[in-house]
Amino acid sequence: MAMTEKLHTPVIAWFDAHARDLPWRRPEAGPWGVMVSEFMLQQTPVNRVLPVYEQWLARWPRPADLAAQAPGEAVRAWGRLGYPRRALRLHGAAVAITERHGGDVPTDHAQLLALPGIGEYTAAAVASFAYGQRHPVLDTNVRRVLARAVTGVQYPPNATTAAERRLARELLPEDERTAARWAAASMELGALVCTAKNEGCPRCPIAAQCAWRLAGKPEHAGPPRRGQTYAGTDRQVRGKLLAVLREAHAPVPQAVLDRVWHEPVQRARALDGLVTDGLVEPLPGGLYRLPLT
């Protein structure tokens, strides 16, 4: 049995038995549901995404429904998922899908990649998970599984490399349906078993052939892994400012926004950043609102 089959067969069998029942994996989610989930799940855990995803799809079941709304409504509905520029990008993609593709999420990988706000990962994920196509889908979880099982290192590089992309392509099953299943299965394995910390090797279907485990689990020797901090950062201030604007259904005076953070220089920098990113619209008279256009 080839190395690829030694990976594919047990991981897919494990996935068949242990995959979480998530709404975007159900047939009724459709391609739009898959796309929405992919935007929301970037850097955000499943348990935080689930309620917002359900509300979003109930309100905007098709791209045209979202495209008909002001972009600020997408930001408002995004709630506290974080990285709210994703809401604007998803709105922009919905507008493009409505204008270019008759309101249907395109099936072609190149057309997906041409949508605003969609990069290589999201295009591959939608093509694979929504349409069952054969594409390497490299998120953090998959990259960690491949780094350990095949390359023999604890963690992948901080940024995706050409070598990782080449390896992912080489490991793709030839059959389209199997390739799509492998993409979902390897991602789930990284999310549930081959986690960043406290990996569950006794539960892993490929532990017996994992290069990192067989090498004695050597410690990470590459550049320090980036930690994510939040408290006291501009991200936190931006979140507090956006929270006020999301709750308001009329323009908000500067004085109200000034109350959310004690340090005026950082507060002004965060507000300027929100305006530059298109998440907040300044109005005459020192008023601010979520964007209408």
Q: What is residue 281's three-state secondary structure?
A: strand
Closest among 19, 53, 55 to 33, alpha carbons compared: 53
Contacts of 141 (CB under 8 A, 6+ apart): 186, 187, 188, 189, 190, 191, 194
Distance from C-alpha of 171 to C-alpha of 219, rounded to nearest angstrom: 25
Distance from C-alpha of 278 to C-alpha of 15, rounded to nearest angstrom: 40
Distance from C-alpha of 143 to C-alpha of 161, rounded to nearest angstrom: 10
The DSSP code for 82 is S
Distance from C-alpha of 107 to C-alpha of 128, rounded to nearest angstrom: 10
- Active site members: 38
Distance from C-alpha of 242 to C-alpha of 239, rounded to nearest angstrom: 5
Contacts of 145 (CB under 8 A, 6+ apart): 186, 189, 190, 194
CB 75 within 8 A of CB 88: yes
